[in-house]
């Protein structure tokens, strides 16, 4: 092997990620043992702080398949969990409590493939995720395609999205939600693992985590001149926060439910653009906290975390309606679904009643 490991640019390199491991990855992808890795590099995928819940490393490999003798170049993404000794022990404890790794592995192992099959059954080639090369359960790692090879890019999370980006994201989200309804209809127990959200009465550590962060918000706002009225409101709201959160994240089968993405904001999606730099597609890149619950969770989360401030309220109704009609097109027109489907007015009420999630964003 010729190694070129750029460890100085990486926060940490998992213990298992070495030359032998790269060799195993390439052999699995090529489906042959007759492979010779010539060189590989490890590079950071995101800036520090962008993905606190995972280690994400770009693996760039040059290799030869012996039979062909033609050199090959491949760029992959390895996603794995932080070591338990990581500095941010509180976050790691919470992530383990919510079982984010196993949830995401389950989504990649079974759910996404089945969703894509269902879409193809109605002649829809939509793809929600990067191609999965390998699920390495032993090392709690995912080996995925590098979307940057196909010119997908992240948006600037500080500048936030315009309406064009939001529409592309919500249309694909609607297809994801619609397909989840059909999948559950065919497999009633399919989402049993995803029945609880991260607000739950049996997760006291998560409750305390939110309380501490809310105290930090109160402390910050109290330093702003002229905001005394809002400080009082926040103090009163704190006592209701967890109860309202638990209420929102407790699914009710009588409601209109879907498999939510759960963390639907700009950091967890990558866009592709046309020649005039207009967004034309989006891929979702994180599936760690899905839940069978109201679609309003994902819609509010996108609008209140990722859309430009001046568009958040002026365009919310337009975006909700656009999502609704995209959902209807896939679910009713595409899949010929005959179960309960809310009217637009009923759906707008669902969004309004779930507005706590917007407050959280």
Token duo for residue 16: 């298992």
**Rounded Cα distance, 177 and 260, in Å:** 7
- On whether the CB atoms of residues 264 and 168 are closer than 8 A, the answer is no
**Rounded Cα distance, 174 and 75, in Å:** 30
What values do phi and psi take at 143, rounded to 5? -110, 115
* CATH, domain range 99-131+154-198+249-360: 1.10.510.10
- On whether the CB atoms of residues 14 and 139 are closer than 8 A, the answer is yes
Domain range list for the chain: 3-89, 99-131+154-198+249-360, 200-248
Token duo for residue 107: 């989504």
Ordered per-residue pLDDT tens for the chain, 361 residues: 445 555 445 667 888 999 999 999 999 999 999 999 999 999 988 765 555 568 899 999 999 998 888 899 999 999 998 655 455 566 666 666 677 888 999 999 999 999 999 999 999 999 999 999 999 999 999 999 999 999 999 999 899 999 999 999 999 999 999 999 999 999 999 999 898 776 766 776 777 777 888 899 999 999 999 999 999 999 988 878 777 877 887 888 778 999 999 999 999 999 999 999 999 999 999 999 999 999 999 999 999 999 999 998 899 999 999 999 999 999 999 999 999 999 999 999 999 988 765 544 4
Q: What's this model's pTM, rounded to 2 decimal places?
A: 0.89
| H helix intervals, the chain | 19-30, 89-98, 100-106, 112-121, 163-186, 204-221, 228-248, 296-306, 309-312, 316-328, 344-353, 356-360
Q: Report which DSSP code applies to 81.
A: P
- H or E stretch at 41: strand 35-44
Pick from 302, 296, 299, 294: nearest CA to 265:
302
Taking the C-alpha atoms of 287, 103, 114 and 173 in order, what is their torsion angle to the nearest 10 degrees?
Answer: -30
Scored b (16 or more CB within 10 A) or e, 233-243 reads: ebeeeeeebbe
């Amino acid at each position: 092997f010729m190694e070129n490991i750029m460890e100085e640019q990486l926060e940490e390199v998992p213990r298992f990620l070495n030359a032998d491991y790269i060799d195993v990855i390439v052999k699995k992808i090529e489906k042959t043992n007759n492979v010779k890795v010539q060189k590989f590099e490890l590079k950071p995928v995101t800036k520090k702080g962008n993905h606190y819940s995972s280690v994400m490393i770009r693996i760039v490999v040059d290799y030869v398949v012996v039979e062909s003798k033609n050199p090959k170049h491949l760029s992959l993404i390895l996603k794995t969990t932080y070591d338990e000794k990581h500095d941010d022990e509180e976050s790691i404890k919470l992530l383990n409590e919510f079982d984010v790794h196993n949830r995401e592995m389950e989504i990649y192992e079974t759910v996404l493939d089945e969703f894509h099959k269902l879409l193809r059954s109605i002649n829809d080639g939509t793809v929600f995720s990067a191609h999965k090369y390998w699920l390495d359960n032993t090392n709690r790692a995912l080996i995925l395609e590098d979307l940057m090879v196909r010119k997908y890019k992240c948006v600037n999370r500080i500048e936030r999205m315009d309406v064009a980006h939001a529409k592309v994201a919500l249309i694909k989200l609607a297809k994801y939600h619609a397909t989840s309804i059909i999948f559950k209809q065919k497999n009633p127990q399919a989402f049993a693992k995803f029945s609880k959200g991260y607000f739950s009465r049996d997760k006291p550590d998560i409750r305390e985590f939110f309380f501490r962060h809310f105290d930090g918000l109160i402390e910050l706002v109290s330093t702003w001149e002229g905001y005394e009225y809002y400080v009082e409101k926040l103090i009163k709201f704190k006592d209701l926060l967890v109860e309202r959160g638990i209420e929102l994240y407790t699914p009710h089968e009588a409601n209109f439910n879907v498999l939510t993405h759960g963390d639907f904001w700009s950091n967890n999606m990558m866009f592709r653009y046309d020649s005039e730099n207009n967004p034309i597609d989006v891929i979702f890149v994180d599936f760690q906290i899905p839940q069978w619950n109201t679609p309003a969770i994902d819609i509010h989360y996108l609008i209140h975390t990722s859309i430009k401030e001046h568009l958040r309220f002026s365009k919310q109704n337009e975006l909700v309606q656009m999502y609704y009609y995209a959902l209807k097109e896939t679910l009713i027109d595409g899949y010929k679904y005959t179960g309960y489907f809310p009217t637009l007015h009923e759906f707008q009420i669902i969004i309004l009643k779930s507005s706590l999630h917007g407050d959280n964003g």
